[in-house]
Amino acid sequence: MSTVEFRNASRIYDNTRPPAVNRINLSIADGEFLVLVGPSGCGKSTTLRMLAGLEPIDEGSIFIDDVDVSEVPARKRDTAMVFQSYALYPNMTARQNMAFALENAKVPKAEIAQKVENAAKMLELGPLLDVKPGNMSGGQRQRVAMGRAIVRSPKVFCMDEPLSNLDAKLRVATRGQIAALQRSLGVTTVYVTHDQTEAMTMGDRVCVLKDGVIQQVDEPTHLYEHPGNTFVAGFIGSPSITLMDGVSLEEGRAVIGEGHTVDLGIERELATRAKGPRVTVGVRPEAWDIVGSSANPVPDALPLRAGLIEHLGSEAFVYCDAIMTPDSPVTVRGQRVVLRADKRQPITTGETLYARPRFGECYFFDPESETNLEYVA
């Protein structure tokens, strides 16, 4: 039962280059499941390793239960880690792997046996207890690694992409198990992943990192619905949000350009926060309404040419090129507009579509700072 707090914590490998982790401030409540997410190289694993004591804290400090642990060696921090590679001791059976930390701590033998039994029951490891890791499947090793962390009843669980070596189906199943287990144990958990689906489904809160800097920390749905900046908007959600630069504001309404007077319905209050005449607009795939086709053109909608179509069974994602008028100041980032179509809506590649974002489902960002106008004071 522990709280964790990062205060201006930094990790600087090389003074001539930007820090790997840059002045992070983060409070994690007792029993909370916090997910650190970001693209590779964003410093999420380094942050976790700093908490576990495997990386030094070059500046700032980290508190566990209001005690500064910045200079405390890893073995005295009472954190348990589940590694991406599982890192089981190959010469020991599952039982010995799980008991090892307790033996080191000189816990009485009967108590160790009891704790290992309990953890094994929780993780359904019974028949594997006397098997060595070499003879286990990936999923089984993963469970032993979890067991090794659980038996210690640590203050904090640190999990470094524990599911990324599992196959897709097992990953989904284990995802649910880990989240449920964490809730029943109530141990404060910091979980690193690059998979935004894991981040969205598992965490109480999600912390998005980029280049060692925290972009936003929030509950998953809030993060999705109110992204702090274009990076968060682009990172969270699959397929990615469509970002359009250079959308002009006229009379409090965002207008895509000459000839495309698509009303995006910006709120008056937000429009007043924009510093310039133009904003960056983000539209999620599910926020588009397909309102017309080449046979049935609609004037106040965005014309699109359908490219790749991904049929997922229940729905389909259509990757389109936007057909802008030559004088339009609007550019689409990545040159792609992604929209979700109902499976009952037949769309063929090369077809022209007319689509319009739903009112109130667009995000507006300051083009300079890329911050969501909702957060601009």
- Give contact residues for another protein (rule: CB under 8 A): 52-54, 73-76, 79-81, 83-91, 100-101, 104-105, 132-136, 138, 141, 148, 152, 165, 168, 197, 238, 309-313
In the complex, least distance from residue 84 CB atom to another protein, rounded to whole angstroms: 8
Complex with another protein: residue 52 or 287, whichever CB lies closer: 52
Instruction: Give the residue among 189, 186, 183 at the shortest CA–CA distance from 206.
Output: 189
Complex with another protein: residue 104 or 221, whichever CB lies closer: 104
In the complex, least distance from residue 57 CB atom to another protein, rounded to whole angstroms: 16
3-class DSSP state of 197:
helix
Instruction: Give the residue among 17, 2, 26 at the shortest CA–CA distance from 214.
Output: 26
Taking the C-alpha atoms of residue 144 and residue 61, their distance in angstroms, rounded to an integer, is 32
In the complex, least distance from residue 235 CB atom to another protein, rounded to whole angstroms: 15
Instruction: Give the residue among 169, 165, 166, 148 at the shortest CA–CA distance from 157.
Output: 148
Complex with another protein: residue 55 or 366, whichever CB lies closer: 55
Complex with another protein: residue 77 or 356, whichever CB lies closer: 77
In the complex, least distance from residue 85 CB atom to another protein, rounded to whole angstroms: 4
In the complex, least distance from residue 228 CB atom to another protein, rounded to whole angstroms: 25
Complex with another protein: residue 80 or 254, whichever CB lies closer: 80
Q: Cβ distance 241 to 247 under 8 Å?
A: no
Instruction: Give the residue among 243, 294, 248 at the shortest CA–CA distance from 271.
Output: 248
In the complex, least distance from residue 269 CB atom to another protein, rounded to whole angstroms: 36
Torsion of CA 123, 127, 128, 131, to 10 degrees: 170
Task: Render the burial of 208-222: b for 16+ CB within 10 Å, e for the rest.
Answer: bbbbbbbbbbbebee
Q: Cβ distance 85 to 165 under 8 Å?
A: yes
Complex with another protein: residue 136 or 362, whichever CB lies closer: 136
